[in-house]
């Protein structure tokens, strides 16, 4: 590995002093956003039938949004650097570079928190068409927060930012810093799922693509600023951080480009690109993204190479400084875009079904429509494809090295990816939000079939064998991060038999019999959360039961069977309760869809209960077969070990036994 470069030359360091650069960038982004909002006017209020709340509210919400987004990406980027771009000490405590980034994250988290609180006031006033000063009355504010989704989203964001600010103050170790990083990325979700993309037709595609776009932008912008700060601090890990970030930045650019294209196609037609304010903003943002791609290419081609070769990081940091300015202009463009109604929102009149689930359904579900009527799920469909590709790359690396990998494991993993794709992107996934029976079928596939197949694939074992070890005194890499997660207290708690059983089975009862399901039906993000929970809770349950991969808790064979059989009566009882229930869950939602082929909602619900009851047998069969195969192979390995030992010893054991019998047969050793 190349030697670490401690810093850049002093003139370059003065040129890219981070605080003035950030101040100018944020102000520039806010000015761009306010200017564009002023040009586009108050069309959004006219469309919504609301009075104009006044210039202070109209422009104030724009400025506060820019500050909140800037603080969020800086917080995420600093935590990214502290967690993955610079190494901790061998004890797991953060090194000086990581600790400094963690403190920066704490400061920006407080700014994020304050901006989010201000956004609660401004979005409530904006949604009500009233001056923000009226929201200073607690009673009025609570009424509008309860009635409007965006203020609630900002309230959740404020809570997450507060937890981050406190956590950054208390954390000292790599493990807690990693937890804070993933929490910070989660802080982007509430606002993303309640904006323009979450309403109107095709809101499933728009929301999913926006999530990719925001996460990619936050990692790219925030990571670049954190890298600049590391160079300004003369960080010893600058060379390693630059190499790692360069690879990540390329992935982020690709994700942003693809997700931006998808989101734009959902919201604006090619004919509207040059004739509407929204279309022109999309073009401007696209130009900025292309410029960022050019700068990123120059960074990889020249700046990072010079830094690794020991030529100093001045070139890298100068390019990064210009890139940061363009990035914050892009944030201003994105903020103005979020304040501008899309053309389709102005002209189109989507159907009730399209408003509620994002698309229309052409007819009743049939075998052919469930299998062939696809609508690709950008979250879980993409996940299935990416997981399959990564797994095959790992297998190829083993084969190139001359190592073997069981074909059965590869088959199981690819089958799991295929079932995940079918459950979320085929007609099953298309009809699942609209019909309880199809939803339950998808639920059973995601929680009982996909996790079993994934666990049988042994992904952790494959990754540990395929990924290179960091080596002695080398900074930890992906293999060490994976090992740290497997051996972490969180994994140990999650794989405890009682905890895993409660998460897996208990969540069925909590979701469907507590009212959560009815509340979740109206929100696309809730469907994403349910699918993620089904998948993860199933994996956590079957991970120790099947035991292919190393786990924090190794259960004996009887313990695995006991854990499996303990879940069976709960599954069966859950299905029986659904089949015998006399009231329809989520009845107002399903009635509002007015699907002509669903005559009796109660019958459809009972069908879903029957699916839940019958599906409980599938994983039992798969797991029992897997355990029997494992035990048979274990016996074969033991037999081969014994044979090898016998071959190595030759006839020594037999000769020793015969010698013992001979001695016993001698006259002095006989027992009369």
**Does 2 map to a domain?**
no
**Does 140 map to a domain?**
yes
361 and 223 fall within a common domain: no
663 and 623 fall within a common domain: no
129 and 268 fall within a common domain: yes
**Does 363 map to a domain?**
yes
Say how many domains are in the chain.
3
Q: What's this model's pTM, rounded to 2 decimal places? A: 0.85
**Does 546 map to a domain?**
yes
pLDDT of residue 649: 59
Give the Cα separation of 331 and 114 in Å (integer): 19
pLDDT of residue 562: 84
pLDDT of residue 567: 86
Give the Cα separation of 186 and 192 in Å (integer): 10
250 and 380 fall within a common domain: no
62 and 157 fall within a common domain: yes
576 and 594 fall within a common domain: yes
Cα angle 549, 550, 553; round to 5? 120
Boundary (domain end) residue, out of 312, 327, 345: 345
* H or E stretch covering 391: helix 380-400
Boundary (domain end) residue, out of 345, 378, 393: 345
662 and 606 fall within a common domain: no
* H or E stretch covering 615: helix 601-615
**Does 331 map to a domain?**
yes
Q: Are 62 and 103 in contact (CB under 8 A)?
A: no
Which positions ≥6 away from 475 have C-beta within 8 Å? 86, 87, 237, 240
242 and 108 fall within a common domain: yes
- Cα separation of the two ends of the chain: 77
548 and 645 fall within a common domain: no
324 and 380 fall within a common domain: no
Boundary (domain end) residue, out of 308, 326, 345: 345
Q: Are 487 and 513 in contact (CB under 8 A)?
A: no
Give the Cα separation of 568 and 547 in Å (integer): 19
Q: Are 103 and 168 in contact (CB under 8 A)?
A: yes
pLDDT of residue 16: 45
**Does 339 map to a domain?**
yes
Give the Cα separation of 553 and 169 in Å (integer): 32
> What residue spans of 468-596 are helical by DSSP H?
478-486, 489-494, 497-501, 507-513, 516-520, 524-546, 557-580, 587-593
**Does 72 map to a domain?**
yes
Cα angle 342, 435, 578; round to 5? 140
Give the Cα separation of 187 and 196 in Å (integer): 18
Which structural domain, as residue segments, surrounds residue 658?
637-669
468 and 585 fall within a common domain: yes
pLDDT of residue 5: 39
Q: Are 111 and 69 in contact (CB under 8 A)?
A: no
Query: Which residues in the chain come in under a pLDDT of 50?
Result: 1-16, 346-347, 671-672
361 and 338 fall within a common domain: no
DSSP annotation of 448? I
Plot region of 670 (φ>0 → left; ψ -120 to 50 → alpha; else → beta): beta
**Does 5 map to a domain?**
no
Give the Cα separation of 434 and 361 in Å (integer): 9
Q: Are 342 and 268 in contact (CB under 8 A)?
A: yes
């Amino acid at each position: 590995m190349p030697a670490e470069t401690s810093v850049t030359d002093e003139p370059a360091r003065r040129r890219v002093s981070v605080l003035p650069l950030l101040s100018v960038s944020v102000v520039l982004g806010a000015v761009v956003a306010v200017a564009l909002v002023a040009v586009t006017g108050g069309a959004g209020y006219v469309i919504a039938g609301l009075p104009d709340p006044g210039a202070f509210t109209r422009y104030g919400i724009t400025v506060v949004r820019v500050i909140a987004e800037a603080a969020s990406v800086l917080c995420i980027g600093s935590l990214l650097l502290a967690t993955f771009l610079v190494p901790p000490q061998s004890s797991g405590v953060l090194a000086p570079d990581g600790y400094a980034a963690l403190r920066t994250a704490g400061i920006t988290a407080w700014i994020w928190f304050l901006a989010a609180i201000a956004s609660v006031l401004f979005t409530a006033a904006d949604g009500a068409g009233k001056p923000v000063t009226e929201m200073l009355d607690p009673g009025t504010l609570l009424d509008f927060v309860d009635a409007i989704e965006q203020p609630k989203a900002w309230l959740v964001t404020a809570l997450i930012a507060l937890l981050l600010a406190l956590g950054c103050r208390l954390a000292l170790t790599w493990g807690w810093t990693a937890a804070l990083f993933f929490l910070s990325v989660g802080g982007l979700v509430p606002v993303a799922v309640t904006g323009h993309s979450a309403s109107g037709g095709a809101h499933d595609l728009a929301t999913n693509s926006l999530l990719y776009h925001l996460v990619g932008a936050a990692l790219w912008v925030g990571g670049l600023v954190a890298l600049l700060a590391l160079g300004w601090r003369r960080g010893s890990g600058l060379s390693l951080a630059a190499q790692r970030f360069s690879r990540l930045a390329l992935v982020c650019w690709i994700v942003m480009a693809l997700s931006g294209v998808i989101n734009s196609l959902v919201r604006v037609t090619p004919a509207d690109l040059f004739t509407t304010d929204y279309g022109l903003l999309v073009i401007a943002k696209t130009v900025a993204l292309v410029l960022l791609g050019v700068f990123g290419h120059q960074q990889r081609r020249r700046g990072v190479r010079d830094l690794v070769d020991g030529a100093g990081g001045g070139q890298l940091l100068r390019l990064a400084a210009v890139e940061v300015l363009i990035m914050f202009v892009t944030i201003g463009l994105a903020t103005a875009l979020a304040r501008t109604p899309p053309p389709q929102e102005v002209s189109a009149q989507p159907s009730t079904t399209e408003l509620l689930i994002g698309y229309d359904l052409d007819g009743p579900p049939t075998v052919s429509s469930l299998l062939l009527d696809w609508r690709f799920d950008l979250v879980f469909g993409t996940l299935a494809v990416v997981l399959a590709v990564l797994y095959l790359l790992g297998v190829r690396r083993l084969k190139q090295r001359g190592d073997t990998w069981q074909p059965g494991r590869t088959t199981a993993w690819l089958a799991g990816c295929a079932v995940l794709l079918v459950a979320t992107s085929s007609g099953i996934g298309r009809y699942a939000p609209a019909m309880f029976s199809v939803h339950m079928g998808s639920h059973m596939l995601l929680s009982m079939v996909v996790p079993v197949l994934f666990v049988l694939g042994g992904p952790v074992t494959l990754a540990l064998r395929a990924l290179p070890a960091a080596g002695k005194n080398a900074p930890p890499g992906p293999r060490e991060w994976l090992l740290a997660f497997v051996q972490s207290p969180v994994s140990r708690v999650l794989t405890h038999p009682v905890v895993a059983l409660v998460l897996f089975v208990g969540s069925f009862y909590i979701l469907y019999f507590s009212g959560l399901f009815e509340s979740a039906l109206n929100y696309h993000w809730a469907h994403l959360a349910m699918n993620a929970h089904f998948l993860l809770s199933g994996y956590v349950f079957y991970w120790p039961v099947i035991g292919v991969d190393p786990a924090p808790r190794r259960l004996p064979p009887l313990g695995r069977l006991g854990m499996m059989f303990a879940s069976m009566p709960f599954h069966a009882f859950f299905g029986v309760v659904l089949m015998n229930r006399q009231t329809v869950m989520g009845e107002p939602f399903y009635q509002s869809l007015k699907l002509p082929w669903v005559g009796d909602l109660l019958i459809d619900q009972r069908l879903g209960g029957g699916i839940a009851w019958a599906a409980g047998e599938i994983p039992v069969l798969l797991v029992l077969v897997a355990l029997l195969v494992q035990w048979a192979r274990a016996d074969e390995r033991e037999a081969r070990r014994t044979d090898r030992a016998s071959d190595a010893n030759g006839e020594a054991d037999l000769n020793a036994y015969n010698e013992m019998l001979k001695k016993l047969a001698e006259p002095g050793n006989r027992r009369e």
